[in-house]
Chain A
Amino acid sequence: MSVNHSLRDRFESGLAAPICLTWEVTYACNLACRHCLSSSGVRDPRELTTDEAKAFLDEVAAMQIFYINIGGGEPTIRRDFFELVEYGLSRGIGIKFSTNGSRITPEVAQRLAGNDYLDVQISLDGADAATNDALRGEGSYDTAIRAMENLRDAGMKGFKISVVVTRHNVGQIDQLLALADSMNAELRLTRLRPSGRGVDVWDELRLSAADNRALYHWLMAHPTVLTGDSFFHLSALGDPLAGINLCGAGRVVCLIDPVGDVYACPFVIHEQFLAGSILDGGFGHVWRDSELFRSLREPGSPGACASCGSYDACRGGCMAAKFFTGLELSDPDPECVFGHGETALAQRVSVGPRPSPDHSKRVTITSR
């Protein structure tokens, strides 16, 4: 889907409801991935009750939000997870949920397969156990592969394999695509952002300028690979990648966290991007009326990118990436394809703010 200009302007000024709503249902997780965007680990005692969660789904249906992305933490850890999924489906809401695969047994896979309104996304960050497990923890590769096999064997078609591209797995994307083909699945590649615990590993794992260029050309050559619109900063390299090509935070994108707080996007869990709570007058109220969202929908100024000939393609890149690396929001993206981000990083006065809240387990066991 590529989008013409007048429509993009409409997106900038906001829609009646988000296109891409992510709902993280718990901060609890059985893994402790080093780059977790939501710093998940331990359940928050204030997480929504089943009734609160269902009331939220009622509102999603009433706002005619077509589909939602459920994540976490590991969403399937919630005891009422499948109850909530069934409830949402019964309201006509399409649901895609992201999982590390640990609960996708053959029985669960059978239940999931064959429903048009339901989609599953398995996270995997490498084409082999060594690469994946270095980031996601010992045994997580085998767990994810088993989940995929279970889904495939249950006849599920077109589920997603979602990969955060790092300098360690960027050389494996052809293998990952072949894996997806062998599982009757689709490959989804997303950008590593310095969000959540990602802030601590971003420098170590992020792509080099040469990697980014190669990735852009690979994506242009493989238009069926999904990206969640996350590489639009690379569109400055030439023809635009498929997608809306602008930062959708608060305009077409938003996040509901496990306690019902609404953030502008899943990658900006920080008080500065907290728009309100669904427990405080409902989600629609926050979406329409929050001051934060209103200000995000104002036409942006190109800031330091004003003289860039590619501003129209890249729009200065990702707000989250700038914020958590300590750049100004008017600065170029830290991974600006022309290197202006590197210059800005070199000139910044302080490192970025810490993501908050942090639900990491106190002792993080990493496998190295």
Chain B
Amino acid sequence: MPEQPDFAAHWSLHPSVSLRDESFGAMAYHHGNRRLVFLKSPLLVDVVRQLDDFESADVALEALVADEQRAAVRRALETLTSSDIVRVG
């Protein structure tokens, strides 16, 4: 199992990633590893776009996501770190 990413660190969208809005959320493309990833909710897209503005992923989640959705968005973010769409630290 990969290690849990550090939610207390500063997170950001990888600079080689482009995002495009779609009706279901957005598509993300990483020009470095050439992965195409689907972000399947507008809320998740919102969070991903704004990560950089917060001192940590936890703070971003707290500010942007309602309690009952936080666990799901957290899991989705975690998978985005494994494809390097989102950078930790």
Q: Which chain A residue lies CB-closest to B40?
A: A7
Contact B21–A16 (Cβ < 8 Å): yes
Total chain A interface residues with beta-carbon distance under 8 A: 18
Give chain B's interface residue range (CB within 8 Å of chain A): 10 to 19
Identify the stretch in B26-34, B48-56, B66-74 within 8 Å (CB) of chain A at 4 or more residues. B26-34
Instruction: Answer whether residue A15 sits at the interface, using C-beta atoms and an 8 A cutoff.
Output: yes
Shortest beta-carbon distance from B15 to chain A in Å? 11
Taken residue by residue from 44 to 66, chain A's Cβ proximity to chain B (1 for < 8 Å, 0 otherwise) reads as: 00000000000000000000111
Given the complex, which residues of A lie within 8 Å of B27, measured CB to CB?
15, 19, 66
Q: How far is the CA of A15 from the CA of B27 in the complex (A)?
A: 10
- Among candidates A1, A64, A119, residue contacting B20 with C-beta atoms closer than 8 Å: A64
Shortest beta-carbon distance from B21 to chain A in Å? 7
Q: Which chain B residue lies CB-closest to A67?
A: B29
Contact B31–A117 (Cβ < 8 Å): yes
Given the complex, which residues of A lie within 8 Å of B22, measured CB to CB?
10, 15-16
Contact B31–A116 (Cβ < 8 Å): yes
Given the complex, which residues of B lie within 8 Å of A94, measured CB to CB?
29, 31, 34
Instruction: Answer whether residue B4 sits at the interface, using C-beta atoms and an 8 A cutoff.
Output: no
Instruction: Answer whether residue B82 sits at the interface, using C-beta atoms and an 8 A cutoff.
Output: no
Contact A66–B23 (Cβ < 8 Å): no
Q: Which chain B residue lies CB-closest to A10?
A: B24
Q: How far is the CA of A19 from the CA of B24 in the complex (A)?
A: 15
Instruction: Answer whether residue B38 sits at the interface, using C-beta atoms and an 8 A cutoff.
Output: yes
Known: A10-B23, A17-B20, A116-B16. A66 touches B38 (CB 8 A): no
Given the complex, which residues of A lie within 8 Å of B9, measured CB to CB?
none
Instruction: Answer whether residue A92 sits at the interface, using C-beta atoms and an 8 A cutoff.
Output: yes
Q: Which chain A residue lies CB-closest to B18?
A: A66
Shortest beta-carbon distance from B25 to chain A in Å? 10
Contact A7–B20 (Cβ < 8 Å): no
Q: How far is the CA of A92 from the CA of B21 in the complex (A)?
A: 17
Q: How far is the CA of A366 from the CA of B20 in the complex (A)?
A: 45
Q: Which chain B residue lies CB-closest to A119?
A: B34
Instruction: Answer whether residue B36 sits at the interface, using C-beta atoms and an 8 A cutoff.
Output: yes
Q: How far is the CA of A64 from the CA of B27 in the complex (A)?
A: 10
Given the complex, which residues of A lie within 8 Å of B18, measured CB to CB?
64, 66, 92
Known: A7-B24, A10-B23, A15-B22. A66 touches B32 (CB 8 A): no
14 residue pairs from A and B, CB less than 8 Å apart: A7-B24, A10-B23, A16-B20, A16-B21, A17-B20, A66-B18, A67-B29, A67-B31, A67-B34, A92-B18, A94-B29, A94-B31, A117-B31, A119-B34
Cβ-closest 8 pairs across A and B:
A66-B29, A64-B20, A10-B24, A116-B32, A116-B31, A66-B18, A94-B31, A117-B31
